[in-house]
Chains A and B, each alone.
Chain A
Amino acid sequence: MAALTPISRTPVSFYVPVVAAAGAVAGLFVGTAQGASLLGVVLGAVLLAAAAFVMTQIIKVESPSRWGLVVILAIVGFFLGGIPAMIIGGAFGWFFGWFSFWLYEGRYRARVAPYLTPGQVLWHFTFRVICGAILVFLITPILVVMPLSFNAEDFFTFTPEMLRFDPEGYSLKHYRDFLTNSDWQNALKNSVQIAPMATLLSVSFGTLAAIGLSQPHVPFRRAIMAILISPMIVPLIISAAGMYFFYSRIGLQGTYIGVVLAHAALGIPFVIITVTATLVGFDNSLTRAAANMGAGPVTTFFRVQMPLILPGVISGGLFAFITSFDEVVVVLFVGSAGQKTLPWQMFTGLREQISPTILAVATILVVVSIALLTVVEVLRRRSERLRGMSPA
């Protein structure tokens, strides 16, 4: 975005105290960690205010002064607490170098509307920091799991070796365990056998029904929709209980088919929702044109309609796949030991605290979901493009 407001340098009396305040907060953390909070606050404020002044008024060039601060604080950090503290010190240096010049040159003002009062500008940035913190809250658990899965010890926490970035502290042993342990391998095999089958069922039935539901005149549309969506709304534990009771009556409890049917039922709402959403933008004159040119209903479906709604079908299928692949409550009840899936194995592991192999599996699953997320996103864009191409 282009600059909204012309910027000008700010007076020393503005930015040095602000940097000092930020330095005090940083000093508070460092000081508390060293056991001297008050000293930390004072030292942090004074040192960083001085650094800001020196950088802006004496050195005056941004890049070298910022790197200088990085090096100085990294060295201080190293002497205070070894390699982890050195990295934190370096990060602090980077931040304060940037922060000082950002305030000094008035760059903070460039991207906000010119009529804002200083209070509004302050709120604008505070608000962004709050949002940043919430986004960090959203992403941290996933980020913490990844490094921990390379732990050389059987702990669920960072060992001192890991914090020192000692190669000794890291290993692939949990991944090795996942790949060699027969429990995990069986679970993986079951998951891989169940999820695609369930996906296939829900996608094939779901696509047909979604096409039916998108016709202009469908009797009882609301009621049918409510029934078809219900597996997504009814709490899983209730679905699981009902399926457990009913499937054990008809002898499907504890069988592969039972689990596949249950998972297919759970995946159907996702297919219905995504495919009907795609069909909303579908131009029905295309099918009429195809029929006009002599194509039968089957040809029309496979050669005209299907290629256009394929992105929706695939993303619905991915949702159904993820639902089945991640599902644990229903399989816990409907399945037996022979259908133990990956999430089930993780669940048992978490309850009994067996090993950090769970974290290795979790990391693999995160990577898989990133891949799936990318596919869905690409498909969504493609679908939008296709829709844009078709006459409105």
Chain B
Amino acid sequence: MTDNTANTASDGPMLAADGTTLKSSLNRALRRQKLRALMLIAPLLIFVLLTFIAPIADMLFRSVENQIVSETLPRTTAALADWDATGDTAPPEPVFKDLYEDMFIAKERKLHTRLGSRLNYELTGVSSLFRKSGRKVEDMGEVYQDQFEDLNKFWKKGENWNVLMGTSSWLAAQNAWDKASKTAQPTLEIKPEIAALLPQTAQMFTLFAEFVQVDENDNLAKEDPWAIVYSALYDDLTAGANVAGYSGEGAAELQEAAAAVSSFETVDFTAAFTKIDKDWASVDVWRTLQVYSPEFTAGYFLNAVDMQKTIDGPEMRPENEQLYLKLFVRTLFMSLVITGSCILLGYPVGFILANLPARTANLLMILVLLPFWTSLLVRTSAWKVMLQQQGVVNDTLVWLGVVADDSRLALINNQTGTIIAMTHILLPFMILPLYSVMKTIPPSYLRAAKSLGATNWTAFWRVYFPQSVPGIGAGSILVFILSIGYYITPEIVGGTTGTFISNRIAYHISSSLNWGLAAALGAILLAVVLGLYWAYDRIVGIDNVKLGG
């Protein structure tokens, strides 16, 4: 900082009233001003970020998010990572066993159908395969459960399991718990020696306990374990768990079981799954599972451009399944046609408004602003009423004899309907920027050109038109941006051939529930719009957007 004693103006820097240098004082004032401006803006900025930008970001996230596969089938996807998908054999038995465990747990948590419908977007038929497998997967492990229970009645009872697995302090707390008290159940604590001795059983039992206690809110003491716990116990015992060293509760039964397991009938999971549905033996299902194992996927985006993910990388879908590229092209094409017709209709009106005396122009302006201010639904319903087979336009044409009564024009539920209605709806957005640009072109230019010998056409085309181009540019981009994202009007007057990509997005959100694909389609549309927005900002400047003249 400056030396405060140097207060003479002749030597040293200029000082402000409070003794600091003028420069730093001004800087501080500027900083304060900036801060004040930011403080005023901050509430709105935060509001918009939370209510608008965050949802958009969420949508972009959803377009690549794919955690559902690895969350629902964690073991299977981990095991599948090593499987060679290029071969033509299904994965080996251990993968099927992992699938059994994952499927069993998913079925109990009722998640398998959700995953089924997710994967069905990629491979048709997976949804029903999962549903079918979910129903039958419970029986699969019961082979072990039955054998354990036949061996000793001890294994039948949930209470016995709790005694075997849980610590005594937890057991006491669990037995004291009363459902009516509405408090949470004490979380299961596995005995450390059991966890070391029977790791898989402990893991499965913990999952089971958590499910019973949290998801179902049933008393754990009264529930019998899942079949999957028995097969885990079988695995632990056959893996050579040293039960002889264990001396806690249930040691005798455990040792008895350890001695008997070697003679148990085993389950062939591969065969069991294949018996449910032979699709499990085909590599297609497994390839799909492997391809969609990662937590993030470009799959939705590929779908959105009619491609699919295969083990050899992305490739085009077969011709008859292609849909979205066509739809994108149609959306762009129709938006161009709408923009074109808006220029065609808006240019003369803009011109005449800019060249008429102010009073008349203001009166005519009302005719432009009234539709602009009228509810979109009102205008769309008006067009629906007018364009119908029995509508006003057709009635008039029939009355005039232009078309025969039995060959009324199909003006609605096709592209014609969408183009007519949307041209009308977006026309004010073209006229207003055109008008504001044309207002600034002095009419004397045209007269000067003509007096210098230009013909009408040359005067217009070489003198007037080039000056009105900024208006055309601004209006066109505005109309184009608005039209490629339109939803309501195409939905009502577009039928099947006159719909836009936005109608497909809405369909995927509310009907087919393929949110990922909807998000990917939306992200592509958003990218196009933002590109145009950027161009608009460069050409017109976003500050110059005018509303209602």
Name A residues whose Cβ lies closer than 8 Å to a Cβ of B: 1, 29, 32-33, 35, 37, 120, 123, 127-128, 130-131, 134-135, 137-142, 144-145, 148, 155-158, 201, 205-206, 208-209, 211-213, 215-219, 224-231, 233-247, 249, 261-262, 264-265, 268, 270, 273-274, 276-277, 319, 322, 325-326, 328-329, 333, 343, 346-347, 350-351, 358-359, 362, 365-366, 369-370, 372-373, 376, 380
B441 within 8 A of A: no
Stretch at the interface among B38-46, B98-106, B123-131: B38-46
Q: Which of B34, B352, B392, B526 contacts A128 (CB 8 A)?
A: B352
| B257, CB-defined interface residue at 8 Å | no
On chain A, the residues within 8 Å of B348 by CB distance are: 127, 130-131, 134
Cα distance A264–B481 when bound, in Å?
22
Are A137 and B506 in touch, CB under 8 angstroms? no
**Cα-based distance from A109 to B502 in the complex (angstroms):** 52
How far is B375's CA from A5's CA once the two chains are assembled, in angstroms? 45
Task: Supply 24 A–B pairs (Cβ within 8 Å), ascending by A.
Answer: A32-B402, A37-B401, A134-B345, A139-B371, A141-B386, A142-B371, A144-B386, A145-B381, A157-B395, A209-B41, A212-B38, A213-B41, A215-B36, A217-B30, A217-B37, A227-B48, A228-B44, A235-B526, A238-B505, A242-B52, A243-B55, A244-B55, A319-B547, A370-B373
B377 proximity list for chain A (CB < 8 A) = 326, 328, 343, 346-347, 350, 362, 365
Contacts of A372 in B (CB 8 A): 373
Question: Which of B33, B385, B427, B488 is the one whose CB lies under 8 Å from A217?
Answer: B33
| Inter-chain contact A156/B385, CB cutoff 8 Å | yes
Are A333 and B510 in contact, with the CB atoms below 8 A?
A: yes
Q: Residues of B contacting A351 with CB < 8 Å?
A: 491-492
Residue of A nearest to B29 (CB): A217
| Alpha-carbon separation in the docked complex, A156 to B380 (Å) | 13
Which of chain B's residues have a CB closer than 8 A to the CB of A137? 345, 424
Cβ of B412 to closest chain A Cβ, rounded Å: 11
Stretch of B134-142, B182-190, B196-204, B514-522 lying at the A interface: B514-522
Q: Are B509 and A333 in contact (CB under 8 A)?
A: yes
- B485 and A235: CB pair below 8 A? yes
CB-CB under 8 A for A233 and B481, given A156-B385, A359-B381, A373-B370: yes
Which of B367, B377, B526 has the most CB atoms of chain A within a 10 A radius of its CB? B377
Q: How many A-B residue pairs have CB under 8 A?
A: 278
Query: Nearest B residue to A148 by beta-carbon distance?
Result: B385
Contact A215 B37 (CB under 8 A): yes
Closest 10 CB pairs of A and B: A235-B485, A212-B40, A141-B382, A242-B55, A32-B401, A246-B55, A209-B44, A242-B59, A237-B502, A215-B37
Contact residues in B for A270 (Cβ distance below 8 Å):
547
- The contact string, 1 if C-beta is below 8 Å from chain A, for chain B 389-412, is 011100100011110000000000
How many angstroms from the CA of A366 to the CA of B372 in the assembled complex? 11
In the complex the two chains form, is A273's CB within 8 Å of B382's CB?
A: no
Q: Which residue of B lies closest to A358 (CB)?
A: B381
Q: How far is the CB of B466 from chain A (nearest CB, A)?
A: 20
Please give, as numbers and ranges, the residues of chain A lying within 8 Å of B402 by CB-CB distance.
32
Complex Cα–Cα for A279 and B71 (A) = 54
A131 to B356, CA, bound (A): 12
Flag if A241 contacts B40 (CB, 8 Å): no
* B364 contacts A by Cβ under 8 Å: yes
Further 16 A-B residue pairs, CB within 8 A, beyond A228-B44, A238-B59, A343-B375: A134-B348, A138-B371, A141-B382, A142-B371, A145-B378, A201-B47, A215-B33, A217-B37, A218-B37, A241-B505, A328-B376, A343-B376, A350-B381, A365-B375, A369-B373, A376-B548
Q: Is B16 an interface residue (CB 8 A)?
A: no
Report chain B residues within 8 Å CB of A206. 44
Partner of B52, one of A139, A158, A239, A346: A239
| Residues of chain A contacted by B51 (CB below 8 angstroms) | 243, 261-262, 264-265
Closest CB of chain A to B471's CB: distance in Å? 16
Measured between beta carbons, the chain A residues less than 8 angstroms from B52 are 230-231, 239, 242-243, 265
Chain B residues near A236 (CB-CB < 8 A): 485, 487
- Pairwise interchain contact B456-A123, C-beta atoms closer than 8 A: yes
Which of A212, A231, A238, A373 touches B373 (beta carbons < 8 Å)?
A373
Q: Which stretch in B206-214, B276-284, B537-545 binds the other chain? A: B537-545
A127 touches B352 (CB 8 A): yes
Pick the residue among B48, B357, B424 that contacts A231 (CB under 8 A): B48
The reply to whether B529 and A158 form a contact with Cβ atoms under 8 Å apart is no
Asked if B267 is at the interface (CB within 8 A of a chain A CB), the reply is no
Q: Does B525 contact A (CB under 8 A)?
A: yes
**Would you call the interface of chain B mostly helix, strand, loop, or mixed?**
helix
Q: Which residue of B lies closest to A128 (CB)?
A: B352
The verdict on B374 contacting chain A, using a C-beta distance below 8 Å, is: yes
Interchain nearest-CB distance for B393 vs A (Å):
9
Residues in chain B near residue A139, CB distance under 8 A: 367, 370-371
**Chain B residue contacts of A265, Cβ below 8 A:** 47-48, 51-52
- The answer to whether A274 touches B381, judged by C-beta atoms less than 8 angstroms apart, is no
Is A212 a contact of B39 with CB atoms below 8 Å?
yes
Give Cα A228 to B42, complex, Å: 11
Chain B residues with CB under 8 Å of A227's CB are 45, 48-49, 53
Q: Which residues of B contact A1 (CB under 8 A)?
A: 357
The answer to whether A373 touches B369 (Cβ under 8 A) is yes
On chain B, the residues within 8 Å of A376 by CB distance are 548
- CB <8 Å contact, B55 and A245: yes
The verdict on B368 contacting chain A, using a C-beta distance below 8 Å, is: yes
Q: In the complex, A208 Cα to B57 Cα: how many Å?
A: 26
Among B51, B351, B369, B542, which residue has the most Cβ atoms of chain A within 10 A? B51
A224 to B38, CA, bound (A): 10
Instruction: Tell me which residues across on chain B come within 8 A of A226, comparing CB atoms.
Output: 537, 542
Residues of A within 8 A of B382 (CB): 141-142, 144-145, 362
Nearest-neighbour CB distance to chain A for B32, whole angstroms, equals 10
Contact partner of A245 (CB less than 8 A), chosen from B48, B62, B491, is B62
The one of A134, A156, A218 that contacts B349, using a Cβ cutoff of 8 Å = A134
Q: Are A245 and B58 CB-contacts (below 8 A) given A135-B364, A217-B33, A261-B51? A: yes
B439 within 8 A of A: no
- Bound together, the chains give a CA A148 to CA B545 distance in angstroms of 36
Q: Which residues of A contact B49 (CB under 8 A)?
A: 227
A199 to B369, CA, bound (A): 22
Q: What residues on A are CB-neighbors of B45 within 8 Å?
A: 209, 224, 227-228
A138 touches B367 (CB 8 A): yes
Most B-side CB within 10 Å, residue of A145, A206, A277, A365 = A145
Question: Are A135's CB and B349's CB within 8 A?
Answer: yes
- When the two chains form the complex, which single residue of A138, A208, A362 contacts B368, counting CB atoms closer than 8 Å? A138
Given contacts A157-B392, A233-B529, A249-B58, contact A362 B378 (CB under 8 A): yes
Instruction: Name the residue on B nearest A276 (C-beta).
Output: B543
Bound complex: CA A35 to CA B545 (Å): 52
User: Are A29 and B400 neighbours in the complex by a CB distance under 8 Å?
Assistant: yes
Chain A nearest CB from B517 CB (Å) reads 11
Closest to B62 in A: A245
Residue from the set A35, A135, A264 with the largest chain B CB neighbour count within 10 Å? A135
Q: Knowing A138-B371, A213-B41, say if A362 contacts B381 (CB, 8 Å).
A: yes
Count chain A CB atoms within 10 A of each CB in B33, B36, B38, B58 and give the residue with the most: B58
Given contacts A156-B391, A245-B59, contact A141 B37 (CB under 8 A): no
Of chain B, the residue at the smallest CB distance from A140 is: B386
Residue from A209, A325, A343 in contact with B43 in the complex, judged by beta carbons closer than 8 Å: A209
Q: Which residues of B contact A268 (CB under 8 A)?
A: 44, 47-48
